[in-house]
């Protein structure tokens, strides 16, 4: 009877705390003759895994799921979409260049071949209860009785990667009358609506004035999405629709409305100028400095930024693409954790939500709150002052500079912006013309020397690249949670003891494309390399063809043979070279192995 009670106790220990697992296993082996129990225990231990709940299957969530490999977790994915969509190709779906099916992949495919305990529920998160570590969800599938099912999921760790919704800036009539371009369904709806406009304008008894209105396509927002959609629509109309609807082609008008002074303002000026010039030649009406103040059923009202004049333009279809906003349940969660006044969830550099344990946030729904050097300057000084002399020598500083640069990447960026090779140069600047060896600075002098470094802090853009890298980073952290607990690999904790468990997240920018239609594109690549024109379009195709055609075997050429063949036929040596140079972009595209590409600056965006 005694041994049985022992088993019972061991069993309870398994259930109560999974970290006892290895310890118990040792006990059983040393106890002898207990092999049968050990086996039973290891299958029992399944329910004892840490439960990771992932919200969302966009770039961030999918990248996390693709990269997580540690079988010690039980992963539950909750997302209203059971597929991942390759969003950079959404504008191409609006015009049928690419079929919706070619840009989506079922998320279940990602975990099919993994030896991981992953569950997926097609549902929306409606509330996070961080105190009790629960997530409230609602299925988005209607059942036969037109009801939707609610359920609650417990978590040990919560990963929020739900993206953002469209920001209408509370402009009246936008939600009711405009199309958006964030989801696959949006793109398909736009495609149907464009054709509907052409069909409506072709009906008998439609006046010329009505034809003009119906075939006026208004795009609000001159960012990359708006610009690419305007370009795709222009090509679609001029290459395909004019052949099918020859009688009404002269009534078509495309207008791109932008509140700022230029379209593509986040790009290099050369790209902006090229795009504006190309659109002018194409007959796309670019109205900058013009803010939309109201959208009614048949008219858009805009206000000129320079003189406040309000103009009303009749339209047939309007697409709104001006930026991102916060999802309602995230807003609610932010109130809970004291972040009510922010646009997105603030996290630290390890993607942990500030003020909330066990919760991580990444992608468009989050921003990293980079710690300022000046906030921590006293702690940094203290840690660096190894001999407690009250002053820092260059040597003392150099001992910790790697940790400082890792913890506060703005320091490295600042040095680079000033073309300084070493921290000594910065200290020297503060101290004046003194020999490097004899420099010694007190706390005030160090403050002066580092006073400007925080100006180099940058917010990361809300792009697929950032989200994808964050997902892969977090998966690696989770995979090595225990390993790094024992052997922390992060920088020194300046305000605490020891080292941080992980290195903080670092974004690597691999460039950005802006397809401009007519087989022209612009790309802004790291190191200020700007590429514009026909070859850039083929570079763009090539990069995306890698996603569509290459790496996964079963997604293969069948997915979108047209694009693939175009790339085959047109790949000249210039394109091929560019593709080779940017094979590093793989990490952006397939988000599996982040390799450091040659000569690309970290943390440049």
Residues that bind a second copy (CB under 8 A): 82, 96, 99, 101, 106, 108-109, 112, 119-123, 139, 141, 143-145, 149, 151, 153, 177, 195-196, 199-200, 202-206, 243-245, 297-298, 316, 557-558, 561-562, 565
Element (H, E) at 568: helix 561-570
* Shortest distance, position 141 Cβ to a second copy, whole Å: 5
Q: CB of 333: closest distance to a second copy in angstroms?
A: 21
- The two structure tokens encoding residue 215: 């075939």
Give the shortest CB-179-to-a second copy separation in angstroms.
12
Enclosing H/E stretch for 392:
strand 392-393
Nearer to a second copy, 112 or 306 (CB): 112
Q: Tell me the CB-side half-sphere exposure of residue 165, using CA atoms within 13 A.
A: 11
> How many Cα atoms are found within 13 Å in the side-chain-facing hemisphere of 295?
23
Please name which of 170, 265, 285 lies closest in space to residue 217, comparing C-alpha atoms: 285
Other beta carbons within 10 angstroms of residue 46's beta carbon come to: 10
Question: Is residue 141 packed enough to be buried (19+ CB in 10 Å), middle (13-18) or exposed (0-12)?
Answer: exposed
Residue 188 beta carbon to a second copy: minimum distance, rounded to whole angstroms: 10
Q: Residue 107 or residue 439: which is nearer to a second copy going by CB?
A: 107
Beta carbon nearer to a second copy, 96 or 602: 96
Q: Quick one: 99 or 348, whose CB is closer to a second copy?
A: 99
**Residue 299 bridge partners (DSSP):** 314
Q: Specify the residue, 150 or 309, whose C-beta has the smaller distance to a second copy.
A: 150
Nearer to a second copy, 195 or 600 (CB): 195
Instruction: Name the burial class of residue 585, with classes exposed (0-12), middle (13-18) and buried (19+) by CB atoms within 10 angstroms of its CB.
Output: buried
Nearest distance, CB of residue 100 and a second copy, angstroms? 9
CB-nearer residue toward a second copy: 147 or 528 = 147
Nearest distance in Å: CB 170, a second copy: 21
How does strand 134-139 pair with strand 117-129?
antiparallel
Tell me whether residue 533 is exposed, middle or buried, using C-beta atoms within 10 angstroms of its C-beta: 0 to 12, 13 to 18, 19 or more. Answer: middle
- DSSP assignment of 12-23 equals HHHHH-GGGHHH
- What are all long-range contacts of 140-146, with beta carbons under 8 Å and residues at least 24 apart? 140/80
Q: How far is the CB of 145 from a second copy (least distance, A)?
A: 5
Strand partners, 440: 393
**Residue with smaller CB distance to a second copy, 314 or 533:** 314
In angstroms, the CA 114 to CA 71 distance is 9
Nearer to a second copy, 40 or 141 (CB): 141
Find the shortest distance in angstroms from Cβ 480 to a second copy. 29
CB of 156 to a second copy, least distance (A): 16
Residue of 270, 273, 257 lying closest to 222 (CA atoms): 257
Q: Which is nearer to a second copy, 122 or 268 (by Cβ)?
A: 122
DSSP letters of 472-528? Answer: HHHHHHHHTHHHHHHS--S-B-SSSSSB-SSPPP--B---EEEEEETTEEEEEETTT
- Minimum CB distance to a second copy, residue 120 (Å): 7
Which one, 108 or 382, has the nearer CB to a second copy?
108
Of the pair 83, 588, the CB lying nearest a second copy is at: 83
Complete DSSP assignment for 432-469: -S--GGG-EE-HHHHHHHHTTGGGG--PPPS-HHHHHH
Q: How far is the CB of 123 from a second copy (least distance, A)?
A: 7
Least separation in angstroms between residue 95's CB and a second copy is 13
Nearest-CA neighbor of 602 among 531, 509, 534, 538?
509
Edge-first strand order for the sheet with 290-295 is 290-295, 299-304, 310-314
Least distance from C-beta 589 to a second copy, angstroms?
23
Residue 63 parent element (H or E):
helix 59-67
C-alpha 472/C-alpha 68 separation (Å) is 8
Residue 172 vs 355, nearer CB to a second copy: 172
Going by DSSP bridges, is the β-strand pair 290-295/285-287 parallel, antiparallel, or unpaired?
Answer: unpaired
């Amino acid at each position: 009877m005694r041994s049985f009670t022992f088993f019972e106790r061991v069993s309870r220990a398994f259930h109560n705390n999974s970290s006892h697992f290895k310890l118990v296993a040792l006990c059983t082996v040393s106890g002898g003759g207990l092999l049968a129990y050990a086996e039973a225990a290891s299958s029992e231990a399944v329910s004892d895994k840490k439960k990771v709940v992932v919200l969302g299957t966009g770039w961030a969530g999918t990248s996390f799921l693709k990269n997580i490999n540690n079988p010690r977790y039980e992963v539950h994915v909750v997302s209203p979409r059971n597929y991942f969509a390759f969003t950079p190709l959404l504008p191409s779906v609006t015009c049928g260049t690419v079929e919706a099916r070619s840009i989506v992949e079922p998320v279940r495919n990602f975990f099919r071949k993994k030896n991981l305990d992953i569950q997926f529920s097609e549902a929306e998160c409606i509330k996070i209860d961080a105190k009790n570590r629960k997530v409230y969800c609602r299925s988005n599938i209607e059942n036969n009785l037109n009801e939707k099912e609610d359920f609650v999921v417990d978590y040990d760790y919560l990963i929020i990667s739900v993206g953002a919704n469209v920001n209408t800036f509370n402009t009246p009539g936008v939600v009711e009358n405009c199309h958006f371009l964030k989801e696959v369904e949006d793109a398909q709806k736009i495609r149907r609506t464009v054709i509907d406009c052409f069909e409506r304008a072709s009906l008998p008894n439609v006046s010329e004035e009505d034809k003009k209105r119906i075939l006026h396509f208004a795009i609000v927002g001159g960012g990359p999405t708006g610009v690419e959609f305007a370009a795709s629509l222009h090509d679609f109309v001029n290459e395909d629709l004019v052949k099918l609807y020859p009688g009404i082609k002269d009534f078509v008008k495309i207008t791109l409305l932008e509140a700022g002074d230029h379209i593509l303002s986040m790009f290099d000026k050369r790209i902006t100028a090229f795009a504006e010039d190309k659109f002018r030649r194409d007959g796309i009406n670019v109205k900058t400095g013009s803010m939309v103040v109201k959208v009614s059923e048949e008219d858009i009202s805009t206000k000129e930024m320079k003189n406040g004049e309000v103009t009303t333009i009749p339209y047939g279809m309007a697409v709104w693409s001006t930026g991102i906003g916060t999802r309602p349940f995230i807003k609610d969660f932010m109130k809970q954790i004291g972040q009510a006044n922010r646009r997105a969830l603030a996290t630290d550099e390890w993607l942990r939500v500030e003020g909330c344990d066990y919760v991580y946030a990444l992608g468009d729904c989050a921003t990293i709150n980079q710690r300022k050097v000046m906030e921590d300057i006293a702690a940094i000084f203290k840690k660096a002052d190894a001999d407690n002399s009250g002053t820092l020598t260059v040597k003392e500083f150099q001992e910790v500079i790697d940790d400082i640069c890792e913890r506060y990447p703005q320091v490295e960026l600042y040095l680079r912006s000033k073309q300084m090779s070493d921290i000594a140069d910065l200290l020297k600047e503060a101290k004046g013309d003194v020999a490097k060896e004899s420099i010694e600075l007190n706390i005030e002098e160090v403050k002066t020397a580092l006073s400007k470094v925080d100006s180099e802090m940058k917010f990361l853009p809300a792009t697929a690249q950032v989200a994808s890298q964050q997902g892969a980073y977090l998966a690696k952290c989770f995979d090595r949670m225990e390993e790094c607990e024992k052997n922390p690999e992060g920088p020194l904790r300046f305000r605490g003891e020891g080292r941080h468990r992980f290195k903080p997240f670092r974004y690597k920018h691999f460039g950005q494309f802006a397809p401009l239609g007519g087989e022209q594109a612009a790309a802004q690549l790291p190191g200020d390399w700007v590429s514009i024109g026909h070859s850039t379009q083929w570079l763009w195709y090539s990069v995306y063809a890698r996603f569509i055609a290459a790496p996964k075997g079963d997604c293969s050429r069948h997915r979108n043979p047209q694009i693939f063949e175009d790339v085959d036929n047109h790949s000249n040596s210039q394109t091929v070279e560019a593709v080779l140079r940017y094979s590093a972009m793989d990490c952006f595209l397939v988000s599996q192995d982040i390799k450091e590409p040659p000569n690309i600056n970290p943390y440049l965006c």
